[in-house]
């Protein structure tokens, strides 16, 4: 019998060379192609087809995802490994949605590629033949470190399966953002994503918040209330801080998850829903189980797939890109010129331990975007911002007057009022967000503004990322 072939498609001759060499050294018969078209032509001419095909994504002509799509239509059984230097969630999810067998982030370890080939040749691939085309924009998760790239691959993979996911990570590491990314890349993307922070709602209201209630179910229940489970029907329900759920509710939740149906509080109509659950926690749930504070069977049901987000101090190489990204986004939202960190400032940011993780960094960047005096943000600016120096109340008007005078004297400004208002809003909102650790609803309450107003002022891009 002829030895099955492995094919490598990549426009980069050096990648082809090292990969082909490594696979040949491992004893495989390998053919390589510099573009998708020649691989596709060979595939239609070749009998039998290769046992496995590696393809790059970005290539002149048709890209690797296009090739993947064609292959999955014509040869659904052929396992395809997608390789790319662009490991963001949109790429990994796009690859897995298109039926990729595996995603390799470039640069990858050649041993991994060889091990992968061995695995595929050993067992018939379990390939997903369904090619769904979804074009939802994913939220922008930034991360170049190996840990984050691995996380993005896992997000891309779990998004396709209807499994429960448990996301663990310290506060502000991006658990909610990851949950949204999974939802947006899943077949449920067009249906609702509903979030509920278990810790933010008083225990006695939590049951009706989750399952809804009928009129008169309890004192004060004047109207029927549709719970989060029903709101999320067909979509995803994100249960944040699941470790804070009271014991009685854990029991009820477990039953609902097992049966897929429930009664509203005080209701008699059996409600059936189809909801994917993504839970998150910053607490060690196993420990809570040992202490008798969390049901082991509920943990098993939620923890089908676990995604752990490392704290920011364990992926310091991500800090510069995150910081620059936040600064840029803040400038766009506030309608002011983009500022830049000096190299020393970035180093200082990288050295910090970030107990509040990405949220803390994001808040600092927004503060700096609004308040740092120059276009270059140096170490001194960081110190000022970190100390959260506030101009004393009686000096506030003076500071404003000085600023206004400088502006009026130096440039031909005609929108000074709008500029001042934008900065005023930014400073006030940031102070409130700092005081509430980034929780928007609470910040709105403190400011005496509606939550929608706060969201609007913060701008539409942030809205998708962190509603609280
Ligand atoms: N990798 C990332 N890239 C870009 N932004 C991020 C990333 N991770 C987190 N963020 C931003 O940081 C903020 C905090 O993220 P998020 O609310 O998802 O954290 P969390 O872990 O759910 O926090 P908590 O446990 O306090 O609820 C958000 O504004 C989010 O957009």
pLDDT tens for each residue of 116-130: 888 887 744 332 222
The residue whose CA is least distant from atom 15 of ligand 1 is: 174
Mutate to test the pocket of ligand 1, among 143, 147, 174, 463 (most ligand atoms within 8 A of CB): 174
Residue 288 shares a structural domain with residue 365: no
Query: Are 302 and 396 in a shared domain?
Result: no
Question: Does 93 share its domain with 208?
Answer: no
Which domain does 60 fall in, by range? 5-122
Lowest mean pLDDT among 113-127, 163-177, 239-253, 306-320: 113-127
Cα three-residue angle 172-178-180, rounded to 5 degrees:
115
Which of 294, 310, 326 is where one domain is finished? 310
Establish if 247 belongs to a structural domain.
yes
User: 272 alpha carbon to ligand 1 midpoint, in Å?
Assistant: 32
My answer on whether omega of the bond before 241 falls inside 30° of 0, hence cis, is no
Q: What is the CATH number of the domain that holds 339?
A: 1.10.8.60
How far is the C-alpha of 124 from the C-alpha of 333, rounded, in Å?
A: 51
* Sequence-separated (6 or more) residues with CB below 8 Å from residue 327: 338, 339, 340, 341, 365, 368, 369, 377
Choose between 91 and 297: higher pLDDT: 297
135, part of any domain = no
For residues 358-384, give the mean pLDDT: 86
Whole-number pLDDT of residue 429: 84
Kindly state whether residues 328 and 365 are assigned to the same domain: yes
Residue 131 forms part of a structural domain: no
As a whole number of angstroms, the longest Cα–Cα distance in the chain is 88
* Residue from 141, 172, 181, 317 to probe ligand 1 pocket by mutation (most atoms less than 8 Å from CB): 172
- Ligand 1 pocket residue status of 142, Cβ below 6 Å: yes
Does residue 387 carry a pLDDT above 60?
A: no
Residue 362: alpha-carbon gap to chain centroid: 15
Examine residue 129 and state whether it is found in any structural domain, yes or no. no
139 part of a folded domain: no
User: Cβ neighbours of residue 192 under 8 Å, at least 6 residues apart?
Assistant: 231, 232, 233, 234, 235, 236
Q: Do 85 and 166 fall within a single domain?
A: no
The question of ipTM being above 0.90 is answered as: yes
Is the pTM higher than 0.90? The answer reads no
**pLDDT for 361 beyond 90:** yes
* Token pair 């797939």 in the structure block, residue: 305
* CA-wise closest residue to 342 among 357, 358, 327: 327
Count structural domains, the chain: 3
Same domain for 118 and 173, yes or no, is no
């Amino acid at each position: 019998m002829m030895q099955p072939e492995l094919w490598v498609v990549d426009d980069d001759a050096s990648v082809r060379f090292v990969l082909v060499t490594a696979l040949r050294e491992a004893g495989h018969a390998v053919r390589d192609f510099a573009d998708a078209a020649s691989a596709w032509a060979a595939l239609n001419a070749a009998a039998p087809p290769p046992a496995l095909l590696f393809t790059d994504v970005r290539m002149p002509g048709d890209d690797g995802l296009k090739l993947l799509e064609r292959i999955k239509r014509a040869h659904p059984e052929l396992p395809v490994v997608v390789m790319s230097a662009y490991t963001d969630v949109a790429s990994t999810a796009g690859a897995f949605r298109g039926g990729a067998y595996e995603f390799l982030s470039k640069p990858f370890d050649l041993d991994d590629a060889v091990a992968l080939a061995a695995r595929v040749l050993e067992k018939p691939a379990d390939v997903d033949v369904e090619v769904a085309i979804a074009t939802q924009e994913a939220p922008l998760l930034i991360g170049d470190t190996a840990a984050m790239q691995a996380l993005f691959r896992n997000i891309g993979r779990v998004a396709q399966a209807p499994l429960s996911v448990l996301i663990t990570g310290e506060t502000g590491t991006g658990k909610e953002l990851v949950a949204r990314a999974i939802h947006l890349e899943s077949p449920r993307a067009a249906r609702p994503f509903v979030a509920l922070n278990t810790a933010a709602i008083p225990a006695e209201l939590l049951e009706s918040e989750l399952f809804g209630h009928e009129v008169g179910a309890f004192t004060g229940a004047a109207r029927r209330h549709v719970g989060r489970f029903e709101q999320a029907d067909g979509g995803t329900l994100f249960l944040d801080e699941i470790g804070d759920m009271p014991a009685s509710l854990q029991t009820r939740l477990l039953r609902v998850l097992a049966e897929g149906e429930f009664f509203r509080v005080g209701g008699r109509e059996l409600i059936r829903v189809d909801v994917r659950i993504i839970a998150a926690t910053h607490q060690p749930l196993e420990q809570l189980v040992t202490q008798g504070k969390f049901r082991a069977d509920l943990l098993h049901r939620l923890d089908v797939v676990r995604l752990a987000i490392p704290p920011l101090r364990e992926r310091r190489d991500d800090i510069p890109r995150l910081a620059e990204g936040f600064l840029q986004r803040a400038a766009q939202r506030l309608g002011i010129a983009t500022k830049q960190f000096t190299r020393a400032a970035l180093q200082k940011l990288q050295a910090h331990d970030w107990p509040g993780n990405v949220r803390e960094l994001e808040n600092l960047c927004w503060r700096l975007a609004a308040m740092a005096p120059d276009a270059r943000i140096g170490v001194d600016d960081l110190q000022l911002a970190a100390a959260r120096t506030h101009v004393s109340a009686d000096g506030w008007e003076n500071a404003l007057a000085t600023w206004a005078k400088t502006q009026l004297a130096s440039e031909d400004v005609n929108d000074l009022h709008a500029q001042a208002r934008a900065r005023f809003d930014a400073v006030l909102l940031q102070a409130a967000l700092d005081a509430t650790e980034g929780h928007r609803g609470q910040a709105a309450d403190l400011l005496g503004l509606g939550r929608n107003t706060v969201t609007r002022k913060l701008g539409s891009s942030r809205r998708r990322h962190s509603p609280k």
